[in-house]
Chains A and B, each alone.
Chain A
Amino acid sequence: MTIEPLKLVSSRTLVLTSSNIDTDQIMPAKFLSMTTQNGLGVHVFSNLRYTDDGTLTNHELNSVSGKTCKILVAGDNFGCGSSREHAPWGLTDYGFRVIISSSIADIFKANALKNGLLPVTINIDVHEWLLRNPGVYVTVNLETCLVELPSGMGSHSFEIDSFSRYCLLEGLDEMGYLLAQSDQISEFEDR
């Protein structure tokens, strides 16, 4: 099985400056009751996007230009909290392919990587610049592991483990890799 390969993402950024944006905010628990994973994009950040009676707010996430953003820049420690994969499902269904922050929570990061959503941890100076300049045009290049900023702000490298990078570039999921280890797993079980 394949996921959509990710090599180069160029887009305006959508910025959420808050730090510690938890997965309850990204995908509130009332949307976890479904038994499928499609169509969660309308619920992502629902508390920011809808008023109590369900009408749309004027948040950028609801704007036409917001929906063309493939890169979300968020405050420090993005994705903390619950292990719900509904959070990356919602973010990718909305249209995001990259999350940039100064730090990203472990379980969220693992879940994002399995859904063609690239978590990019970048140094604090670049992160702060991106937070201060919402809507700038940024290119994230997974082949060179560089975030390219506009207007002479240069290119900045980010780190990603080579296996996750390979899977994203090729659009491979990990299931096939694990299934291919079946004999080694059997040997382990027989020990």
Chain B
Amino acid sequence: MEKFMKGKKIDVQAFTLYFGGIIILLAFTIICKINGKDFFSVQNIMNIIQQSAIIGITGIGASIVILTGGIDLSVGSVIAFVGISGGLLLKAGVPLPITIIACLIIGMLIGLFNGYFVSVGKVPAFIVTLGSMQIFRGFTKVLTDGKPVSGFEDSLAALTSGKVFGIPALVYYVFILYAIMIFVTLKTKFGRRLYAIGGNPNAAKLSGVKIRKIEISAYAIAGLFFAIGGICLLSRLSYADPNAGSGYEMDAIAATVLGGIALSGGKGKVGNTLVGALVLGILKCGLQILNVATYWQTVIIGVVIILAVYADKANDRKAE
């Protein structure tokens, strides 16, 4: 059997992703030109980046959990819960840096909660995080009786929109966070173990990998990234909405899947999730510019996700 693998396999996933992304980009450019609009306007590019940034950040969390073979649906609820908590803390006069730290801790605690029930409690990840999605969405509404919190100082908004060399701070955050997590997943023991338990938990366990520790850490890290996403959203909107973030779980998972991380775990690269998030951002903005009705936008994005994975599986189909 070893004879089959003479040459290095082409990375089909990466190829599909980049190729698909470029095609979508080209298509929008051309269609916009025909309609007399400029797809590459500064404002539009900023828009795409802003759209993609939070999907990208939460996508890191989703990717880490999916690499272990799990899933985390609590993304949107954590975003909302963190947003409202942060908003209330700021309103109570707590300084911004301390509020941020508190929010990050909240996110991690929710992740630990998920991780504990998944890893120690052996409850399927889908169920645990479906539950915590409900729980924290509920808490969010309990906290403010369903009302939004607003009226923050400018320093909050400056957190993401403040510019360095003309580029909003949010963009730097995305790149820094990705750089860190690409390093962690590919170059550290923790990262290799993450892949191993996603690839085959039994073999990993017998190889001395402490499954619980790694798995719970993965959920905690995911919670941390969802919280970062929540803070960024709060800052961008300067407005804490208890309904914020709904649908983000799907965006984060979609970016992960578009980026080629296998839902079964153990396979894929976190870095590609960023490209997945960008593709989603381009799609969303492009469709907006072309004045496609929101309902149709949702349909189109759904189709693109299925098509991307379908193209990706071409090799599996051919192998028969």
A and B together in one complex: no
Question: Measuring CB to CB, which residues of chain B are less than 8 angstroms from any residue of chain A?
Answer: none
